[in-house]
Amino acid sequence: MTETPSTEIKSGGFNANLPSGFNQPNDAVGQRILKEYGALFVARGGATPPNTVIFKNESEVSAYQSGLSKSTETLGGFNIELQAAAIKGLKEAIAEAKQNNLTITPRGADSGKRTYSGTVELWASRVNPGLSHWVGKGKLTESEASRIRALSPFEQVPEIFKLESNGMFFSKDLSKSIVYSVAPPGTSQHLSMLALDVNEHDNAKVRDVLAKHGWFQTVVSDLPHFTFLGVSENQLSGLGLKKVSDGGRSFWLPSL
């Protein structure tokens, strides 16, 4: 079943522009994910965002992805499959970039679409070394680390957030929250097929061209990561998004 993407921008801010039937999270983890990654849920321009903040397993992800209108493009040697509207905006951006002797290429094979198991693997790739690191630093006991390792990836999320609130961070360089490095299992914007990790993210001209074609930065300090929102920059505040400036860049987050 393909849902009809909404095109209209309603007054009433972020909550008014969420997909119909959106499951508002009522737990702390869900609410944090909505705040950090939530811009995606008000995507327009033919995009179909999910109506849940956390997919619980592979079958929920496949059910959602199989209902989308998708298209695949070979970019920089990788087959990138995204929602059709997102690919269209991306191809237009690439064409405009080319006229200015710039390129827009994906960072790797998993820079576009991801599966639930892909998000579980990425999560473990930060959590497991992080637990060993903090045990080595004497901040965490081995028995506590073992207890957390034994939990399901989903159950680990609140535990990791709790350790981070005590100064034990789990990003790749262990300096910031894991949410700016990898998404908790089932929450990645890449599951929605509306996100792309871009090699040339450091170039402000490339960021401008992507923005002109509906692609914006929406996860603070995840620098290569862009999200298809399908509108022009002057429409973003109407969708209930606010601009957060960080490190000379603009990120668009839910105004909650």
Per CB under 5 A, residues contacting Zn ion are 197, 225
| End-to-end C-alpha distance for the chain, whole angstroms | 31
Closest CA to 9 of 250, 255, 243, 236: 236
- The residues, ordered by sequence, that sit 6+ positions from 63 with a Cβ below 8 Å of its Cβ are none
Radius of gyration of the chain (CA): 18
Which residue's CB is nearer to Zn ion, number 134 or number 228? 228
Q: Which residue is nearest to Zn ion (CB)?
A: 225
User: Between residues 10 and 249, which has the closer beta carbon with respect to Zn ion?
Assistant: 249
Output the six-digit token pair for 239: 């969708």
What is the smallest separation between the CB atom of 190 and Zn ion, expressed in angstroms? Answer: 6
Q: State the nearest-atom distance from the C-beta of 227 to Zn ion, in Å.
A: 9
Strands (E), 21-161: 70-75, 78-83
Q: Which is nearer to Zn ion, 132 or 177 (CB)?
A: 177
Residue 2 carries which DSSP code? P
- Could you tell me whether strands 78-83 and 195-197 are parallel, antiparallel, or unpaired per DSSP bridges? unpaired
From the CB of 35, what's the least distance to Zn ion, in Å? 17
User: Quick one: 207 or 225, whose CB is closer to Zn ion?
Assistant: 225
Residue 235 burial (CB < 10 Å; 0-12/13-18/19+)?
middle
For residue 162, the minimal CB distance to Zn ion (Å) is 25
Q: Whole-number minimum distance, CB 82 to Zn ion, in Å?
A: 12
Q: Is 77 exposed, middle or buried (0-12, 13-18, 19+ CB in 10 A)?
A: exposed
CB 196 within 8 A of CB 90: yes
Q: Mapping DSSP to helix (H, G, I), strand (E, B) and coil, where does residue 135 land?
A: helix
Residue 9 Cβ vs Zn ion, minimum distance, rounded to whole Å: 25
The least distance separating Zn ion from the CB of residue 195, rounded to whole angstroms, comes to 5
Closer to Zn ion by CB, 201 or 213: give it: 201
With beta carbons less than 8 A apart as the criterion, state whether 44 and 5 touch.
yes
Comparison of 49 and 131: residue with beta carbon closer to Zn ion: 49
Which lies closer to Zn ion via its Cβ, residue 213 or residue 225?
225
